[in-house]
Structure 1
Amino acid sequence: MEKYISAIFDFTKLPTKVLFLFAVVSGSILFVNENIINKLQLDALLKKHGWVLGLVFLLSSCFVVVNLIIWTINKIRAKRDFRAIKEKYIKRLRNLDRHEQAVLREFIAGGKKSINMPLDEPVIAGLMNDNILVLNKTFGNQTLVMGYEAPLSINEFAMENISYKDIGLKGDRSDVEIEFIKNNRPSWTRSLY
């Protein structure tokens, strides 16, 4: 008896594609026109083992429907969760403190996509923790870290969604704004220039 029960649970581990194939084949044999069954010489099989085909059709169809429902629910949840994460991330971008703004302005002021930054700086560590700044992959999946500095970039999603206002700028590149950028640089940049 245990052997039969374990066989049923093994049946549930089959991929949905295989279950779908079982449902289509068994359903075709059960519901196709009798002339076609006779031409394929499956009439004896159907008369003798029709109940098995019916059971296979019923079980595999149920499993396919259940898997379809689960897949749909998971897709809806994933979209909802992704939307919530996106909104939280954008809210985080809109509420940067002045120190975080200064770090991100370095990319704008220098016109660079990547800057060597100290990893032990609390503001940079916080931005990395929030996935706003990311380590550059310099050698495939490897990152080159020299001392406490490493090349960092602004996350692509953050770059697409950040505005000048988010980093304390108007975006007009006026003399006043350029002077503001110069006077409000992070402390670690003084050693670079």
Structure 2
Amino acid sequence: MKKFYEDLGAEEGGLAQKARVLSSKLNQRLQVLLDKSTPKPVERWLALAALVFIYFVRVFVLRGFYIVTYGMGIYNLNLLIGFISPQIDPETEGPALPTKSDQEFKPFVRRLPEFKFWRAATKSVLIGFTMTFFPMFDLPVFWPVLLLYWVMLFTVTMKKQIKHMIKHKYVPFSFGKKKYGAAKEGSRPKK
């Protein structure tokens, strides 16, 4: 039995050990790159937009892989819904004590944080791009039907989400720190 495992490279310095070390080093380098990109959201989203553009150019040139694109679109729509949804849904939270909601500050906490949304969307585009190199994923379909169905699904889903936002009075987007009007010279209390 020991011979069997030695043939697989389980001994010290074997092929399996080298593969684990290489995999560990690659994961560490990937994590370093991700850590460096965390404080740069604009650059990350621009890189994702470039990847999506390259993907669509490839699909356009190949004139195929519409099922892969449709699946990627549905997956990214699901990610978007998680990104614009609150972590705690007011409808399923249950009964709460009465409070003065006008006075109370409740920060918007997303169900899917921005970085995880970006990372999952980037993974999906890279996986979809990789799938375009394998002809077995190029199933013959009439793409206008898929596009129409996706647009309809997007519209219905966004309508439902916007109604939810209006009903529970939350806005999933904030554009930096709130700025208040400058204090007038004469209105400051003197010490």
Structures share fold, TM-score greater than 0.5: no
TM-score (norm 2): 0.24
Structure number with bigger Rg: 1
Q: Which has the higher contact order (CA 8 A, sep 6+)?
A: 2
